[in-house]
Amino acid sequence: MFALYAVKAEVRGRSPQWDGVVSTWTGDDPCGDTSRGPGAYASTWTGVECRGQSDLPSDAVRVVTNVHLPDYELSGPLPRSLGLLRHLRELDLDSNAFSGPLPPEWACLAQLEELDLAVNVGLTGGVPPEWGHLGRLVELELELNAGLVGCVPDGLPPPARQCGVPGGPPCPAFTLDPVVGTSTRGTGLSGPCGLARQREARPAPRRAGLLGGGLFPALRARPAPGDPGARTAPPRVPPYPCAPVPAGPLPAEARAPAPGAPGAGPVVA
């Protein structure tokens, strides 16, 4: 709950589009209510979902699992406070107008499985190396952001490939997308940082003939078949120092149900 209100405070007044989204973030239960019976859990908070919890008792603790806000014309920097949503599994912000760097604070989203930032042409800079600690991440979509440069940090998913086909990885249950991995098409990203280091460390081929090194050492220096399809090595940087999510105090608008809402069980956002 505190996390979503922190996001709201960060973006409020930034643009009419942002104000339109967060104007629906009111009351004390972003996961919805059970007034229509089991299975009817529906959030009235735009873009917020609490999947897989519709049959829990009304007094059970529920968590926000998905923030889904593509094509909303949202602008400005990516909200750093989204990194407080520690139970988030999917963050989908593609096809907006975000600008500036990727926030290292999002390395605190330890449960994240899918992150989609495609087609936000104002994004710039490199991928934070701390993101390499997102060990559950399966799908990272960065395509068509020409301002992103550098290499993909160690620990992130391998280059994008099709799942559920012979020779490919199994498709994850949380998405219908047949492509998983890290997608960098249309960016300035050069590929995994580990492979970049290998290329930099590889000695220049000698010209002393086939057996003397003109061909065979170059062949031996290439990555073994299948290496690019495996998750890269653990990152060389320490994890981001994630502070505990505050428990309160919450703003007055969060201490009372939204107008017309019956209220529901506790929520850990």
94, 70, 95, 67: which is closest to 81 by C-alpha?
A: 67
Domain of residue 96, CATH code: 3.80.10.10
pTM of this prediction? 0.78
Long-range contact pairs involving 53-57 (C-beta distance under 8 Å, separation at least 24):
56/265, 57/265
Q: Which two tokens stand for residue 148?
A: 């992103």
Instruction: Tell me what pLDDT residue 61 has.
Output: 83
Residue 213 lies in domain: 2-268
CB 162 within 8 A of CB 139: no
Instruction: Name residue, tokens 């000695």.
Output: 203
Instruction: Tell me what pLDDT residue 114 has.
Output: 95
How far, in Å, CA of 259 to CA of 146, rounded? 44
* 3-state SS string for 163-230: CCCCCCCCCCCCCCCCEEEEECCCCEEEEEHHHHHHHHHCCCCCCCCHHHHHCHHHHHHCCCCCHHHC
Tally: H helices and E strands in the chain: 4, 14
**In the chain, what are the helix, strand and coil shares in percent, each to the nearest 5?**
20, 15, 60
Instruction: Tell me what pLDDT residue 216 has.
Output: 35
Domain count, the chain: 1
Instruction: Tell me what pLDDT residue 112 has.
Output: 96
CB 268 within 8 A of CB 87: yes
Per-residue pLDDT of the chain (269 residues; tens, 9 = 90+): 789 999 999 999 999 999 999 999 998 888 876 444 444 456 789 999 988 887 778 778 889 999 999 999 999 999 999 999 999 999 999 999 999 999 999 999 999 999 999 999 999 999 999 999 999 999 999 999 999 999 999 999 999 888 878 877 778 776 677 888 999 999 999 888 876 555 545 555 554 443 334 333 333 333 333 333 455 566 678 888 887 776 655 555 654 444 444 444 555 66
How far, in Å, CA of 177 to CA of 183, rounded? 13
Q: Which two tokens stand for residue 130?
A: 């701390």
If residue 37 lies in a helix (H) or strand (E), which one and from where to where? Answer: none
Where helices occur in the chain by DSSP H, the ranges are 2-11, 16-22, 193-201, 216-221
24, 33, 61: which is closest to 261 by C-alpha?
A: 33
- Sequence-distant (6+) residues with CB within 8 A of 139 are 113, 114, 115, 116, 157, 172, 175, 177, 179, 180, 181
| Position 124, amino acid | T
Instruction: Tell me what pLDDT residue 253 has.
Output: 60
Q: Which two tokens stand for residue 163?
A: 């799942």
SS3 137: coil
